């Protein structure tokens, strides 16, 4: 039977015909005819056009013109056992012909549809076919020339988040499969080629997602990596490679470093990298080692001549002055050590609570509005550096060091800075979206200026290249460009005006204060390791995130005194808490822990403590913020407990500029 007996389109009807023909004429000619159709990318490309599209004329580099839902439905039907012969032919065709023969330079845009169709084939999700289907498809995509590669990126930008997430999970699964089975590969170069293809495909998807935000950045995390890979060794290999050093071992030299793809690492893995980086820098400094010896160096026990901790002695009544003094006498390397704080005249052992209290009290003092170091934006509840203030630069330097220490010591601090700060720390330029976050009204006004459709921009907005700023009750006009007060904003220069406006807010007006802050922060958290973070991840490391899991908070809670998980008062407490709206739950977190966000490691790492007290039920619950400890009287009813807890939350003021 020749190919003329078949339609060029692949659909339910043709599948039924093929199944019938194969069952009636199971001979070489019949099979070859089906294989020829199934091996033809053109047949697949022409088979799932959107019904509203007339043939292929609507297809463009921006629009694939394909109905992926029809593709999905057809493949799901083929998985039925009655179509097993057809499925086998499709599998063979994809493995031996179609995927290996995909061109790096497709003849036209329509020929690109195959790259959207193939991931819908269910067997690509089966680990048995990762090596013969999934990885070869990744390699074919990565071979694409520049222009068709951009077309595919554009199409991925248009697909629904569910399809995009399926692609991510497909290649995350391939990475895990390869890592778990790496010892079974007799030829190491094959493993390296395969895992590099999977990782580079994920990287391509990640770059698309940065622009269109189909999914959250943590959708790319592969948490299992921490248990499958020696994170410390991988980071060291990456560090050496970045430093231009060549490892002596040819195996190490040729190995794939996962740190080259930092978007796959979760908080646990990146914390390990921070620790490795700190240990590396301490060891190199203390032992006078050079980079060529770091592998040998880090296999030895640390030979630190001084204390393994950064110990600060401070007085409560002179916290800022003492912190400045103590931190100034320590070297940059000392700042990488675990922090221990001793309050003068107190004997408490710092098991974490004293350090947390130190951060809370120090930031409370530094953020005091009387110093004018930061401006509080009422609309967004965020802080930004003041245009004008009169404190010494070393105060900003101290805040920078404090933020760095908080990250290194896994302590969440209640600092409400916009994402723009973390972008600047990572050399990413803030834009209009960042101004919208910090000052929504200003941001929206500038967006309206850019979007205004009329020609009369000059008459409608009446703007020139200046910005008005209030300083201690006085409104001052600042020039955005030389002679800006004489340059009118019009249709042709409005983008230049917006750029200059944003640049003034985030750069020019705060340059000296930010420079002092960043030098302090980078003294603790600088180096190659910082390159592994995205701005949002760096923010989450410092101030936590909002990935709340309230059930997990209850499951990991610890009880003291007469309390246990089954005690009547405890049961009343959790019933009441879970009925709270989100904002009230966040207020409870702020009341108990000093921050309404949770550590990047998750809710379980918060681990609150609830203890019984001898106080009567007329008393309010009391929070010991430094230890996440709640003193909870034994209330006799849910109504009383709810009223007392609500009263305690409403009376809590915190310590930020809010």
Distances (CA, A) of 379 to 370, 423, 432, 443, 589: 21, 21, 16, 12, 22
DSSP secondary structure of 19-84: HHHHHH--SHHHHHHHHHHHT-HHHHHTSSB-TTS-TTTT--SS---B-HHHHHHHHHHHTSGGGH
- In angstroms and rounded to an integer, the radius of gyration of the C-alpha atoms of the chain is 30
Report the C-alpha gap between 267 and 269 in whole angstroms: 5
Task: List, edge to edge, every strand of the sheet that includes 609-612.
Answer: 558-560, 609-612, 629-632, 622-624
Residue 425 makes CB contacts below 8 A (sequence gap 6+) with 518, 521, 522, 530, 535, 538
Structure tokens of 364? 């409370």
Say whether 10 sits in a helix, a strand or coil: coil
What is the number of other CB atoms lying within 10 angstroms of the CB of residue 547?
Answer: 13
């290194």: which residue's tokens? Answer: 408
CB-count burial class (<10 Å; 0-12, 13-18, 19+) for 72: middle
Residue 626 falls in the annotated catalytic set = yes
d(CA 357, CA 339): 12
Alpha carbon distance 566, 323 (integer Å) = 44
3-state secondary structure 236-290: HHHHHHHCCCCCCCHHHHHCCCHHHCHHHCCHHHHHHHHHHHHHHHHHHHHHCCC
**Annotated catalytic residue within 43, 259, 403, 626:** 626
* Distance separating alpha carbons of residues 615 and 631, to the nearest angstrom: 9
User: Catalytic residue numbers?
Assistant: 626
């Amino acid at each position: 039977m020749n190919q003329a007996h078949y339609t060029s389109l692949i659909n339910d009807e043709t599948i039924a015909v093929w199944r019938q023909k194969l069952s009636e004429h199971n001979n070489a000619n019949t099979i070859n005819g089906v294989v020829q159709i199934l091996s033809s990318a053109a047949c697949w490309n022409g088979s799932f056009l959107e019904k509203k599209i007339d043939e292929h004329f609507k297809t463009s580099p921006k629009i694939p013109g394909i109905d992926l839902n029809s593709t999905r439905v057809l493949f799901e039907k083929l998985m039925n056992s009655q179509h097993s012969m057809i499925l086998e032919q499709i599998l063979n065709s994809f493995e031996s012909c179609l995927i290996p023969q995909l061109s790096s330079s497709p003849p036209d845009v329509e020929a690109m549809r195959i790259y959207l169709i193939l991931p819908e084939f269910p067997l690509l999700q089966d680990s048995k076919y990762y090596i013969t289907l999934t990885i070869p498809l990744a390699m074919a995509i990565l071979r694409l020339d520049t222009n068709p590669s951009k077309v595919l990126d554009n199409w991925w930008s248009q697909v629904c988040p569910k399809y995009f997430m399926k692609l991510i999970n497909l290649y995350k699964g391939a990475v895990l499969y390869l890592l778990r089975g790496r010892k079974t590969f007799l030829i190491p170069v094959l493993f390296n080629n395969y895992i590099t293809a999977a990782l580079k495909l994920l990287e391509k998807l990640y770059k698309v997602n940065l622009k269109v935000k189909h999914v959250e950045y943590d959708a790319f995390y592969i948490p299992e990596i921490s248990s499958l890979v020696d994170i410390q060794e991988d980071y060291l290999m990456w560090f050496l490679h970045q430093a231009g050093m060549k490892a002596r071992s040819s195996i190490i030299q040729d190995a794939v470093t996962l740190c080259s793809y930092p978007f796959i690492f979760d908080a646990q893995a990146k914390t390990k990298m921070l620790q490795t980086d700190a240990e590396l820098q301490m060891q190199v400094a203390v032992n006078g080692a050079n980079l060529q010896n770091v592998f040998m160096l880090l296999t030895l026990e640390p030979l630190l001549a001084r204390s393994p901790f950064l110990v600060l002695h401070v007085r409560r009544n002179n916290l800022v002055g003492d912190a400045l003094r103590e931190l100034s006498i320590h070297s940059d390397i000392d700042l990488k050590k675990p922090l221990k704080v001793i309050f003068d005249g107190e004997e408490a052992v710092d098991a974490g609570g004293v350090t947390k209290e130190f951060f809370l009290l120090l930031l409370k003092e530094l953020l005091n509005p009387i110093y004018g170091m930061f401006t509080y934006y009422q609309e967004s509840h965020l802080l930004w550096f003041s245009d004008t203030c009169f404190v010494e630069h070393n105060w900003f330097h101290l805040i920078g060091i404090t933020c760095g220490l908080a990250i290194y010591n896994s302590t969440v601090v209640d600092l409400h800075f916009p994402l723009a700060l973390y972008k600047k720390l990572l050399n990413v330029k803030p834009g209009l979206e960042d101004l919208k976050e910090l000052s929504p009204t200003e941001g929206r006004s500038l967006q309206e200026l850019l979007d205004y459709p009329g020609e009369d921009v000059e008459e409608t907005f009446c703007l020139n290249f200046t910005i008005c700023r209030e300083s201690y009750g006085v409104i001052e006009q600042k020039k955005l460009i030389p002679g800006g007060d004489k340059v009118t904003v019009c249709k042709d220069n409005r983008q230049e005006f917006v750029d200059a406006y944003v640049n003034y807010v985030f750069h020019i007006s705060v340059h000296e204060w930010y420079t002092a802050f960043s030098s302090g922060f980078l003294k603790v958290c600088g180096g190659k390791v910082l390159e592994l973070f995205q701005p949002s991840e760096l923010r989450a490391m410092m101030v936590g995130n909002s990935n709340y899991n309230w059930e997990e908070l209850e499951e990991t809670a610890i009880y003291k005194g007469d309390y246990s998980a089954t005690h009547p008062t405890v049961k009343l407490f959790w019933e009441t808490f879970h009925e709270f709206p989100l904002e009230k739950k966040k207020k409870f977190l702020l009341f108990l822990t000093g921050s309404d966000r949770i550590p990047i490691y998750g809710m379980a790492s918060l681990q609150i403590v609830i203890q019984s007290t001898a106080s009567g039920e007329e008393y309010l619950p009391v929070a010991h913020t430094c230890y996440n400890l709640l003193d909870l009287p034994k209330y006799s009813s849910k109504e009383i407990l709810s009223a007392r807890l609500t009263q305690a939350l409403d009376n809590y003021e915190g310590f930020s500029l809010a």
